[in-house]
């Protein structure tokens, strides 16, 4: 049977000031269990505008380390997006090579089927 504890009561094994597994302080009201990409983006934009991370952390009930992870991922995504080039010669070469490989694979399959049609028992070995 589970024992209920009051908000001010010390629970054995609890760390002072610790948050629960859901990320909220003990006794906090209903909180968001899942963050959409759009909500994360809004929080990250606030961080990038210079709002203090500790204030945002308290307001949205998300640990500071998690907010910093979101910010780093957002910055990495922006870097990748800005590095992307249109009409990249390497991408064109890779696309051409992939197309050629596809053609060769189809050609090999056709030749194998033709060989099997001409010599259906050609790949068998004698049992002696």
For residue 69, pLDDT beyond 90? yes
Most confident of 5-9, 12-16, 47-51, 91-95: 47-51
pLDDT per residue as tens digits for the range 17-47: 444 444 545 444 455 578 899 999 999 999 9
Handedness of CA 63, 22, 29, 73 (dihedral sign): positive
The pTM score is: 0.45
SS3 40: helix
pLDDT per residue as tens digits for the range 92-115: 899 999 999 999 999 999 999 999
Q: What share of the chain is helix, strand, coil (3-state, %, to 5)?
A: 55, 0, 45
| pLDDT computed for residue 32 by the predictor | 57
């Amino acid at each position: 049977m589970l024992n209920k504890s009051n908000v001010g009561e010390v629970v054995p094994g609890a760390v002072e000031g610790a948050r629960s597994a859901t990320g909220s302080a003990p006794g906090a009201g209903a909180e968001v269990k899942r963050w959409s990409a759009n909500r994360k983006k809004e929080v990250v934009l606030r961080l990038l505008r210079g709002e203090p991370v500790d204030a945002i952390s308290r307001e949205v009930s998300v640990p500071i380390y998690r907010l910093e992870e979101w910010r780093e991922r957002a910055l990495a995504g922006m870097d990748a997006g800005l590095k992307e080039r249109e009409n990249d010669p390497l991408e064109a070469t890779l696309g051409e090579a992939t197309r050629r490989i596809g053609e060769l694979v189809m050609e090999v399959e056709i030749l194998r089927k033709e060989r099997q049609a001409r010599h259906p028992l050609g790949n068998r070995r004698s049992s002696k």
